[in-house]
Structure 1
């Protein structure tokens, strides 16, 4: 499996992957993905045509916006490789912490993030839809204090 930088011109492919990984009402379309990839500080990595991750970094904080792996490609380490690569990149670029939201019933994703050291910091009620809550999670990188910028 090869990781490559996701480009706005690949938005149709990324939207197709996203649509296989999420329920129809939660899937992002190509316009949304292309717009996000065009924003300053936002970037993505694609694992062939099997999965991708979008993230953004602003100063010393970073956020995973979405992580999608096709169902037929799951349990092969793709998500872990994407997360690991993004975490290393944002930490090297000066991030002190990384945030994300994940559906509270997505036990596989929660376990993946917990394995990287993410901890629950809150609950966002009705984040995805009425009754569909999200856990807010954060990872603090070693040797840093969340919320304090380097001097």
Structure 2
């Protein structure tokens, strides 16, 4: 995203802020995941991520929760395990803001690169990651459950 585009998005989303995910968010986050994905994370998956010390965040627009994600740090790498914007608010720049938040957290923690996996069938996510500068560096065969079998996961990386 170019600087003018980023400034325009930031101006439209001036009320955005982030806070750590808490126990009171778990039901909401799991419900959102169930609406967004055919094979969602459970409330327990999110609770386990908090317990493991992963960076679990909720994105808010004013008082409204509009996104969430989970970031795992491993030495000098950061790995986005889950990044999601609620269905009603997709395609409005929120994914870019949430991704930017995780990139900044990773940099602050000393990460040199940010990694994630994405389904090849997830065109909107692939476009978002490409605009952010991610590059595909590998493919994990049968990584994701899918209707009627498994789907590969593309491994993407962003140098920080």
| Counterpart in the other structure of 2:118 | 102
Cα deviation, residue 84, structure 1: 0.1
Preserved CA contact (<8 Å) 2:49 2:56? no
Unmatched tracts of structure 2, length 5 or more: 1-15
Cα deviation, residue 33, structure 1: 0.6
| Counterpart in the other structure of 1:45 | 57
**Pick aligned residue for 1:29 from 42, 46, 51:** 42
Q: Indicate the SS of the match to 2:79.
A: strand
Cα deviation, residue 2, structure 1: 2.9
Preserved CA contact (<8 Å) 2:80 2:115? yes
Number of aligned residue pairs:
138
| Counterpart in the other structure of 2:19 | 4
C-alpha distance in structure 2 between counterparts of 1:29 and 1:109, whole Å = 21
Preserved CA contact (<8 Å) 2:70 2:82? yes
Q: Indicate the SS of the match to 2:155.
A: strand
| Counterpart in the other structure of 2:83 | 67
**Pick aligned residue for 1:83 from 99, 106, 109:** 99
| Counterpart in the other structure of 1:148 | none
TM-score w.r.t. the length of structure 2 is: 0.81
C-alpha distance in structure 2 between counterparts of 1:58 and 1:8, whole Å = 24
C-alpha distance in structure 1 between counterparts of 2:84 and 2:37, whole Å = 8
Preserved CA contact (<8 Å) 1:8 1:38? no
**Pick aligned residue for 2:155 from 136, 142, 149:** 136
Question: Whose helix fraction is larger, Structure 1's or Structure 2's?
Answer: 2
1:41-73 Cα shifts (integer Å, max 9, x gaps): x11221232211111112211000011222111
